[in-house]
Amino acid sequence: MLLDYNSSIIEKGIKEFLWAKENMSIIDKIINKYKNKKTLEGYSIGICLHITKETAVLVMGLKELGANIFLCPANPLSIQEHIVSFLKYKEIIVYGEKGEPLQTFCKNMDRILEKKPNMIIDDGGEFHKMALRKNYNIFGGTEETTSGINRLKAWYQKKLFKYPIIGVNQSRTKYIFDNRYGTGQSSIEGILRTSGILLAGKRVIVCGYGHVGRGIASCAKGLGAKVTVTEIDPIHALEAFMDGFEVKPISDTTTIGDLYITCTGQVRVVREEHIEKMKNGVILCNAGHFDVEIDTNYLNKIDKNPTLIRKNFKCFIINKKKIYLLSEGRVINLVGGDGNPPEIMAFSFANQLLSLIYLSKNYEKLENKIYNVPKKIENESGRLALHSFNIHIDTITKEQANYFYS
């Protein structure tokens, strides 16, 4: 089949898709369970996710279940172009191009909504924001990430909801693994691929010790870095301290930090007052969903002509010091690297897939609010994940159950 199609970029996409699929056996198991019934036949699904090889596995799985798919990227810089080519070759409708300006980027979501999808998958809340503004007759949706969930909670308070949304990020089989182990590893990988620096001996400042921060701090430590954590939550700060990390306010780190990694979901965490005191040669990058955690406006205002050292690696001169910025302050693991490993995305996308199937069967009974992933789905994806690693566990005995509930 590869030889029939004379394009090396599609061939690259096919090979990477197959490699990801091989490492996402959980998704295959779910598809095999539901495909004969064509569970999603007649549904059209609008998807706004980072377009990676793992996303292609989810998309092709949904197609096998009978759904009609429209896809656009959750970030203009995270698109893997060979994967887009592969998906188009497989007749999936994809709107969006790498590096496109914000206006066209938003237009992609509009174009999907005009197709009147019944269900939507979003990563970051931007797609839901657009869908909630108008009445598109959407039955339900899902949300992939922490920042998206935070925004949705605010919109729910403002009574803006028009359909039920399942917060996939809230599933234990998502946030413990994707945010922590997946993003922890892939963010460090993105930093190393982009800058090529040595981590051992460096002072790494991790801003935010939530799920993502825990993963990043532990991976950086594993590579020999000295890690300092900044936090605003006393419990998370205490946890970082007990995990063996130094904890300080960010303003106390500026003279020691070699590398800053933000993962708070907050705005302007690294800003002018910090940057101007930082060491010559400091590197700044972000693993949070939006490109707002590092004040890149300030960098661009002070140095309008930064040097592009190499792809995704810029040098600004601020107060006669070199300040490096990776991936324009956008998600380093997806812009500077390939995103999370397929084994991890299999957990997240098992939750997505099972949540969509659940929505297709139950949307009429659901209220217009945010739901957690039903426990049954969380447990099913956990069980499938364990089996994918060939791990088996004990079951509770009758005696233990009686004892527990007595």
Ligand X SMILES: NC(=O)c1ccc[n+]([C@@H]2O[C@H](COP(=O)([O-])OP(=O)(O)OC[C@H]3O[C@@H](n4cnc5c(N)ncnc54)[C@H](O)[C@@H]3O)[C@@H](O)[C@H]2O)c1
CB nearer ligand X, residue 277 or residue 387: 277
Cβ(354)–Cβ(347) below 8 Å = no
Of 92, 207, 217, 225, which one interacts with ligand X (CB under 6 A)? 207
Q: Residue 10 or 57: which CB sits closer to ligand X? A: 57
Kindly report the length of the chain. Answer: 406
- Pick 40 or 191: Cβ nearer ligand X: 191
Token look-up 């002072």 returns 203
Based on the shown chain and the rule CB under 6 A, indicate whether residue 209 belongs to the binding site for ligand X: yes
Using rule CB under 6 A, residue 208 touches ligand X: yes
Q: Decide the pairing of beta strands 307-310 and 282-286.
A: unpaired
The H or E element containing residue 141 is: strand 140-143
| Residues 244-249: contacts with CB under 8 Å, at least 24 apart | 245/206, 245/209, 245/217, 245/221
Q: Choose, by CB under 6 A, the member of 13, 140, 265, 342 that binds ligand X.
A: 265
Two structure tokens written together for 13: 């996409």
* CB nearer to ligand X: pick between 2 and 154: 154
Residue from 65, 240, 287, 350 binding ligand X (CB under 6 A)? 287
Q: How many CA atoms lie within 13 A of 26 on its CB side?
A: 30
The mark string for 83-122 relative to ligand X (x by CB under 6 A, - otherwise) is: ----------------------------------------
* Beta bridge mates, 322: 317
> Which of the ranges 51-59, 87-95, 175-183, 314-322 carries the binding residues for ligand X, by CB under 6 A?
175-183
CA gap 254, 380 in Å, rounded: 45
233 in contact with ligand X (CB under 6 A): yes
Applying CB under 6 A, among 47, 206, 219, 269 the residue interacting with ligand X is: 269
**CB of 334: closest distance to ligand X in angstroms?**
6
Which of 236, 248, 271, 322 touches ligand X by CB under 6 A?
Answer: 236
Pairing of strands 119-122, 307-310: unpaired
**Is 212 near ligand X (CB under 6 A)?**
yes
Under DSSP, is residue 330 helix (H, G, I), strand (E, B) or coil? coil
Amino acid identity for residue 241 in this structure: F
CB 120 to ligand X: min, Å: 18
Taking the complex as a whole, the smallest distance from the CB of residue 122 to ligand X amounts, in Å, to 12
Tell me phi and psi for residue 273, to 5 degrees.
-60, -25
Pairing verdict, β 282-286 and 259-262: parallel
- Yes or no: say if 52 and 331 are a contact pair by the CB < 8 Å rule: no
If the CB atoms of residues 70 and 209 are measured against ligand X, the closer one turns out to be 209
The nearer residue to ligand X, 11 or 378, going by C-beta atoms, is 378
**By rule CB under 6 A, what count of residues binds ligand X?**
30
- Give backbone dihedrals phi and psi of 286, rounded to 5 degrees, phi first: -135, 140
Looking at residues 129 to 148 of the shown chain, list those that interact with ligand X (rule: CB under 6 A): 145-147
Nearer to ligand X, 218 or 360 (CB): 218
Residue number of the CB atom closest to ligand X: 210
Residue closer to ligand X (CB basis): 13 or 124: 124
Cβ closer to ligand X: 266 or 300?
266
Q: Is 230 in the site for ligand X (CB under 6 A)?
A: yes
Q: Which two tokens stand for residue 326?
A: 């990776």
Q: Quick one: which of 147, 142, 96, 137 has its CA closest to 120?
A: 142
Q: Are 130 and 110 in contact (CB under 8 A)?
A: yes
Cα–Cα distances in angstroms (integers) from residue 145 to residues 243, 259, 359, 370, 390, in the given order:
25, 25, 18, 13, 28
181-200 footprint of ligand X as x/- string (CB under 6 A): --x-----------------
> Which positions lie near ligand X, rule CB under 6 A?
145-147, 175, 178-179, 183, 207-213, 230-233, 236, 263-266, 269, 287-289, 331, 333, 340
